[in-house]
Amino acid sequence: MVLFPVMNDQGLIARLLVGKGLGVEVARDEQDGLLRREFVAKAVRLAMVEKEGEALRTKCRRMKDVFGDKNLSDEKLDDVEVQWGEISNGYEINLTDYVIYVCKCGDLDEIKDVCERIWMGSRVLGRQSFVALIGVLCRCNEGSMAKSVLHEMYCRGFRVDDVTYIVLFQCLCRNGDLDSADWVLRKMVKGGFDVDVCVYGSFMHGLCKEGKFREARKLFDKLIKRDGVSGSKAAFLKERRRAIFQLNYKGEIPEMMVYEMYFRSLCAVGKLDDAELLLKKMMKKRSMAQVCVYGSFIKALFRVGREEDALKFFHVECKKGLVCSDDLARYVFVQLCNKGEVDSAIKVFNELSRKGAFINTVIHCNCLLRSLWVAGRKLEAEKYFERMNHGDLAPPNLATYRLMVCGFCNGGNERKALDMFEEMLSKNIPIDRFICETLLTSLCNQGRLAEAYKYLDAMTRSGSLVSYTVWKRMFYSLVSNEEQLFD
């Protein structure tokens, strides 16, 4: 390759490729730094015809075969690594670190692509790569794919730790994939995992999610009565019967905790009549339920459109005084924001703020900001943001700035979005890819391509724009308007 660096980081890239024997750089005049036609001609002759450039041409032909071969680009990770190692004189690529990096910074499509490559076979990946992939896939509720990664870990002989097991198990239960959850539970028991109350609660939720209410009730009764097969060794786990019913929890499970698990599972799937009956039974017990139980019922009522019933329940429970009214009001406030009832949410927010209740956490402030932006009330959103900045409310965090930057961009006010972005840079607040993509897309749509290029370059250099797919989308948006960009 004949390398002709002109701007930005092209000089660094050119020197990197020259150092690896993959190209020849066009020299510059040492006096004024200008390029001369004789220097260009000399570099072309060396690269194309002269004997001294034969090694360079051979290596570049091999590189063309690698990177120009679509079949190879879709091959296994370690095949690509071997080819690169031969081209780059053994320059080491740590694929384990790369996979962890993608899990931390990439989007879901990039993560899925890595999984596809792993299933093709990759000898060089370490255990932490698989752990990271399972964790991020479960966070995205991609339980089936995470299970396949776990199976790949078994095939490679890697040890699966308890945290990885429970994360995958809870994800599968959340998705209602009971057969896969049962498979993971058997692996856990076989590996000596001590089944705790969280396992029972997660599986109970999965049963309700899949409409297996009779089985959920059976599990509830089992935990209340403490019956079942004693011990939890793999020898006692029979096939064709759910493992959860064959286990017996060795520790103490407070009766109220069992009620709460079942109640919240019913609320999560909208079985409110059954949940209300169970709540009445709970209220007759001497032990009081946690405030999150009442909050789950309020959330469920809002979810099915019974706002009036939720508010009535809230006021009744506040009058009873059995739970802290301020804590319960937080659930009402969040649900009002989610439903777009901004005025009612502001009323609750301001009332609790005056009382000095601990509602002014950044999570609640962000919830209010989000609802104001959705309702198109940007002036009020700015007002509350200023209060957060001045210390009247909880101080803003990355999520707060993301709401503000994206809100201004979506509203067509790029100037304020850029001001907010510059404020983040001055305060050393991390920039995530959502802010980068929203800001750059907005600038491109407005035809401000030179500014978009400047920020793309700055974000790339600082490491803010870490997702390759996002960078590629932004770069193609710019080069598709190349004439405007370099006017």
**pLDDT given for residue 401 in this prediction:** 93
CB 421 within 8 A of CB 443: no
- What's the one-letter identity of residue 374? V
Asked whether the CA dihedral 314, 264, 194, 214 is positive or negative, the reply is positive
Instruction: Indicate the helix (H) or strand (E) that contains 280.
Output: helix 272-284
Provide the CATH topology of domain 397-487. 1.25.40
- Could you list the beta-strand ranges (E) of 325-394: none
In sequence order, the β-bridge partners of residue 422 are none
pLDDT of res. 69:
53
- State residue 425's pLDDT score: 81
112-127, pLDDT tens digit by residue? 888 887 776 655 678 8
Rounded to two decimals, the pTM is 0.70
Asked if pLDDT for residue 396 goes beyond 50, the answer is: yes
Q: pLDDT for 154-206, tens place per residue?
A: 888 888 988 999 999 999 999 999 999 999 999 888 888 878 888 999 999 99
- Higher-confidence residue of 323 and 486: namely 323
pLDDT at 470: 63
Mean pLDDT score across all residues of the chain: 80
Closest CA to 296 of 321, 319, 269: 269
For residues 219-242, average pLDDT = 68
Residue by residue, DSSP assigns 28-47 as --TTT----HHHHHHHHHHH
In the predicted model, is pLDDT for residue 8 greater than 60? no
In this structure, the number of other CB atoms found within 10 A of the CB of residue 142 comes to 21
215 contact partners, CB below 8 Å, separation of at least 6: 207, 242
Domain range list for the chain: 2-68, 397-487
Lookup: tokens for 252:
């103490």
**For residue 12, what pLDDT is reported?**
59
Across 331-344, average pLDDT: 92
Most confident of 76-90, 250-264, 381-395, 440-454: 381-395
Predicted local distance difference test score (pLDDT) of residue 105: 73
pLDDT tens-digit map of 96-112: 777 887 887 777 888 88
Question: How high is the pLDDT of residue 87?
Answer: 46
Instruction: Choose between 207 and 21: higher pLDDT.
Output: 207
Does the structure show a pLDDT above 70 at 218? Answer: yes
Lowest mean pLDDT: which of 49-63, 68-82, 119-133? 68-82
